[in-house]
Amino acid sequence: MATWSFGRSTTVPPWTRRSELPALVVCITSVPRRSVIKNRNRNRRERIFERDGHRCVYCGLSYPADELTLDHVQPRVRGGDHSDGNLVACCRACNVAKGGEAAWAFLARRPDLRANFLRYATAVWPRLRRAVVEAATD
């Protein structure tokens, strides 16, 4: 058994009584290898593309998987995460046009793209969909 003590891992002798164990005991587990993480991300891409029907949620056109990208509705630099509710399928042209802008700011000026987004991005977090609708009314 290993314990964590002042930044160092120490070993507790097996004859030590339970009452003498420190309050914090750390279980050491294996860290996922890069190949496992890469497969998890690949599966996420395929899952998002399937969920969105291999369709860009902005322009509404269908594309093969190799021509689609994943887009963060709320960009990572603005506090967005990698959750499925913040990711949508997007063609390269729309992704370049949107850039690092939040979807609600990008779509506020483009009513045709906003209508497509609200029609096709059904799995996006409700708060993000509300932000798109509210930004259009401002």
Residue at 35: amino acid letter: S
Domains of the chain: 40-137 (1.10.30)
Q: For residue 138, is pLDDT > 70?
A: yes
Q: For residue 23, is pLDDT > 80?
A: no
- How would residue 137 be classed by pLDDT, with cut points 50, 70 and 90? confident
pTM of the model: 0.69
Question: What average pLDDT score do residues 118-132 get?
Answer: 95
**28 contacts: CB under 8 Å, gap ≥ 6:** 2, 9
User: pLDDT for 31-81, tens place per residue?
Assistant: 666 666 656 667 899 999 999 999 999 999 999 999 999 999 999 988 899
DSSP characters for 82-95? SSGGGEEEEEHHHH
Mean pLDDT of the chain: 83
